[in-house]
Amino acid sequence: MPHKQTNNPLHGITLETIVTALVTHYGWAGLAERIPVNCFSNDPSIKSSLKFLRKTPWARDKVEALYLLTLNDSE
């Protein structure tokens, strides 16, 4: 049986959904300002960002934390 993650607010949300929502909310420039990584500031795209974030746990953690902050601010 799969283990439910009832206390994990990111459970069931894809990384692509998170990045897309952040880009929609902040734009690429705003996202690069908040999380200064090249994939957000130098010729940004969803595809290149996902590739980088999947290989870089510390950056993914920052993106997920920003997403949760953004969700909490909008509620």
Task: Dump pLDDT digits (tens) for 59-69.
Answer: 999 999 999 99
d(CA 54, CA 13): 14
Give yes or no for residue 56 having a pLDDT over 60. Answer: yes
**Residue 10 carries which DSSP code?**
T
Q: Which domains does the chain have, with CATH numbers?
A: 16-74 (1.10.720.30)
What is the pLDDT at residue 1? Answer: 47
> Which of 26, 1, 18 lies closest to 67 in space, CA to CA?
18
pLDDT of residue 64: 96
DSSP state of 43: S
Overall pTM surpassing 0.85 (yes/no): yes
Task: Please provide residue 33's backbone torsions phi and psi, each rounded to the nearest 5 degrees.
Answer: -70, -40
pLDDT tens profile 2-45: 566 667 888 889 999 999 999 999 999 999 999 999 999 999 99
Q: Which residue has the tokens 């929609």?
A: 24
